[in-house]
Amino acid sequence: MDCFKCKKNVAERDVIKCTGCNMYMHYQCADLSETEFKKILPMNKIKWKCPPCKNKRLAGTLGGTVSPKFKDCATTSILNVDTDALTEYMDAKLDSLRQQWQEDLNSAIQKVSKTFAQDINRLEKRVASWEERIKELEQNFTASHSPDVTLMQENNELRADLENLRAKFDDLDQASRSCNVELQNIPDKKAENLIHLSIEVGKLIGVDIKASDIRSVHRVAPKSLLMKRQSEVVWEFLSDRASDVSDRKPNNNAKDNSVKASSSQVRQGGDIWVARGLSGGALGVWGLGETARLHAMRAKAKSPLHSRVWHCRVHTRHIRARVRLLPAELELGTGSLFFKIRDNISSWVLWWRQCHLRMGAPQTPKLIEEDECLPRVAALEATRQAQQERKLERRRGPSAPRRRGLENELEGERRRPRRKPRKK
């Protein structure tokens, strides 16, 4: 559109319309500044009049003239109504907007409520499934913790069978070692011939051991590389008779002290110990069975009841047999392995020898019976304890009872009246 005054094109942001003459013009052509134009509210723009129209209206009112009524449709439009009409228009517009907003809000609420209801239904289903699973877990827990008599009975039967199998396995293990003899404290040597070494040791103890009697000879591997102890040599004979002869013969040849050893490996080192090659089993796990007791007897070398039997002497060395006296409560049956070993390696030789050495008897050992040995052992132990007590008394002084006895004797001598010397 064109401006009424300058006849130029008017932009919508700069146009202003006069309600009196219905003409469009620039706000600059209407004598309005930019700040004044921006201050005019939209509701006041529809009622704005240019300065000439305002002056005409003022002149008409001052002169008492009545302005003619125009029947033009433009002058009677909704833009020229008063404030009440404007409020009615705005109310109608707002009512339509309110209704539209309410419809939009209701539709949004319905959508949200539908999704919320679906989520609640899913949650209820999950809670129901969880409750079922919890019930199953509770049932399983109670079933697992409730004592089952059949399982307990089966467990006891299996334990009994296991103990029987362990005992049988232990017996079989000992039976497989019944022909074994151990040689301890023989120095190790590279590229050694154990069969030749076995024959040399047999010569020293007076036993004619042939290579045909030996099934195998081997050294026991050490438990740790840090161990400095010499590993044991195990003879495995073809029969139990050969092993019995090998560990029984030295007792009868103990008087032979002139045997010379041709092997330097046998001459060097400390004492050589000869023992039955029995295993101790899983001591402490399988219980104290017969073989475990035998192993305990052999293991306690520092026990006072442990005997060391001298078989023969090779220069400064001794070949000895390791056995141990059994207390009365640990004695086994007559057919047990211990009595078989006792018949082969006699533990009574040392006690007989100790008793007879003190009495000046000849040093030739002989086997004696158990009934003869035990009283001598008890007497020897009693004398040994008495000697130790006397040594302790000399070091510490007399004991309290002995001290009181000496004091009483001194007191009695003081109270005893003195005899008067006789007159000559």
- Alpha-carbon distance of 296 to 85, in angstroms, equals 123
| Cα–Cα distance list, 7 to 1, 19, 25, 46 (Å) | 9, 19, 9, 22
Residue 311's SS3 state is: strand
Alpha helices in 146-221 (DSSP H): 149-176, 194-204
The whole-number mean pLDDT for each consecutive block of 10 residues of the chain, a chain of 424 residues, reads 80 82 83 81 78 72 48 44 76 88 91 92 93 92 81 90 89 76 75 79 71 80 65 73 50 39 50 60 36 46 39 36 36 37 40 45 39 58 79 68 68 64 63
Q: What does 123-140 look like in DSSP terms, one character per residue?
A: HHHHHHHHHHHHHHHHHH
Complete edge-to-edge strand list for the sheet that includes strand 317-324: 214-219, 233-237, 180-184, 272-276, 317-324, 306-314
Length of the chain: 424
Helices and strands: H and E segment counts in the chain: 13, 8
**Nearest 5°: phi and psi at 14?**
-110, 0
pLDDT of residue 259: 39
pLDDT value of position 390: 79
Beta-carbon contacts of residue 393 (< 8 Å; ≥ 6 apart)? 399, 402
CA distance 254 to 318: 10
At 165 the pLDDT is 92
| Sign of the dihedral through C-alpha 117, 123, 124, 126 | positive
CB atoms within 10 A of CB 17: 19
Give yes or no for a contact between 316 and 261, defined as CB atoms under 8 angstroms apart.
Answer: no
Place of tokens 């059994």: 326
pLDDT in the model for residue 277: 59
| Other beta carbons less than 10 A from residue 148's beta carbon | 11
